[in-house]
Every structure is written in C-alpha cells, then in structure tokens.
Amino acid sequence: MQEHFRTRMAELEDEHWWYRARRSILERAVDRFVGKTGRALTVGVGATREAEMLAARTRLVAIDRAPIDAKCKDVALAARANALALPFRDGVFDAVFIFDVLEHIEGDDLVLRELHRVLKPQGHLLLTVPAFMFLYGRQDVVSEHKRRYRRGPLRKLLEGSGFEVEYDTYFNTVLFAPIAAMRLARRVFPEPAPNGKSDFDTRLPKPIEKTLEKLFSLEQHAIGRTSLPFGVSILCSARRN
C-alpha cells in the first residue's frame, strides 16, 4: 500500500469506527474457528491491534514485506519476509491468519500454496479479502489492491491450493448499499484528483459514526451461524487437507 496510508493506519485502527467494528468481527471469527492454538503465523501486520488480539490466543509469528511496527514486535516474533517464499519449514504452524493481504499480491495462488505448505495437516487458515470488482475505487488504489474477489471463485482458488473450505461468508453487509452507492457515484461524477486521500479521510459527525460502528459490529453474531449473501468483504475459514 502507499506509504502515507500505511503510516495513517496506526491512527485509524484505534479511532476509526470501521476498524473497531471489523476487529470485533475478526475476533469472533478467530474464537469461533481457531480458538487458542499452539503456534500461528499472521501474514501482513499493518494493523497492530489485530496482532495483539491474535497474540492473546497463540504464540504468534508475524511477517510483512514492509517495516514492522515496534508495538507488533512487543507481542509477536516479527520479521520482514515475502509471502511468496516463506522462510519456514513445512508443517510448522497450527494456524495461519491473512487478513486483507491476498489482494495485494499478484500471485495469490502461489501465496496460498505457501500457506498450505507451512501449515500442519488439518491446520487452520482464516482469511479476509475485499469483495466485488465493481466496488474497486479510490481506497483500492491507495491500498494498491490487485483485485477484489467473489465468494465462489475464492472457494475454488482455496480448494485448488489444497484447502478444505469449512465456512465462507460475505460481511460488511449492513452497509453494503451506501458504500456501493458512494463508489459508483464517484464513477458517474468523478472527483478531483484525490491526492492520495483514502475513503477513511471522509469523516462524519460522531453520533453517526457510533451508529455505523454498532451496525457493522452486529454482523459478528452471524459468523459461523449463517452465510451472508453479499457484502463489501469476504471471510473464509479453511483447513489444510
């Protein structure tokens, strides 16, 4: 992702309603599908709060191609590494977490094969990716996304990489309509050059943001119980065959 946005994420993950709500959903998913486990790998550690959440449940190893925040190094064994060539032996991890990272990498199938390699047999994979290419917009550009996904093709990609998909769902469903309307409107009525700004630079009055956070957070109760039919993102739980 663009460097200025990576720096901004350190502030956003604490104070922005979207990051806080998303973290509550991820925490529910980790507890529901993985729980406490022996040794786990997280790929891409832009959000330090997520690393802290994971480290409370496992002996965490964290990798990223970019410099890793010192706070993450306090809770995990952290190193700079490439997800296309992981510096670990076969079958060493009980679980792998890859949250909003796969879309950044050209060879997503190669990454999944590497994750399959370093997982123990029946080890857990928990991932999230952005959904629907028609939603591709300013935030994807700032984040340097290669693509967005659909649930069916993502499932096939995982199965082709040796995983058994146990559960998948769209999420950020409650706010899908306004987000889609905003992104499509920008195509019809193009804005001036954003000068590196992201969607997170658009702020609303605090009472509205608190309401949006509560609405988005409600989706944590659907995780593992039902699969939502559409959404801005996809969450998937799988095991290594």
CATH of the domain at 80: 3.40.50.150
pLDDT tens, residue by residue, 182-217: 999 988 877 665 566 777 888 889 999 999 999 999
Mean pLDDT, the chain, integer: 92
Q: Which domain holds residue 212?
A: 3-240
The residue among 36 and 68 whose pLDDT is bigger is 36
Give me the pLDDT at residue 193, please.
53
Question: How would DSSP label each residue in 1-55?
Answer: --HHHHHHHHHHHHH-HHHHHHHHHHHHHHHHHT-S-SEEEEE--S-HHHHHHHH
Domain count, the chain: 1
The answer on pLDDT for 2 being more than 70 is: no
Give me the pLDDT at residue 71, please.
84
Nearest alpha carbon to residue 174 among 42, 18, 69: 18
Q: How many other CB atoms sit within 10 Å of the CB of residue 168?
A: 17
Distance CA 235, CA 125 (A): 11
Half-sphere exposure of 129 (CA within 13 A, CB side): 25
pTM (whole model) above 0.85: yes
User: Hunting for tokens 């994807």 — which residue is that?
Assistant: 140
**Helix axes 3-15 and 17-33, enclosed angle (nearest 10):** 80
- Single-letter code of the amino acid located at 101: V
User: What is the pLDDT averaged over residues 18-28?
Assistant: 95
Give me the pLDDT at residue 195, please.
61
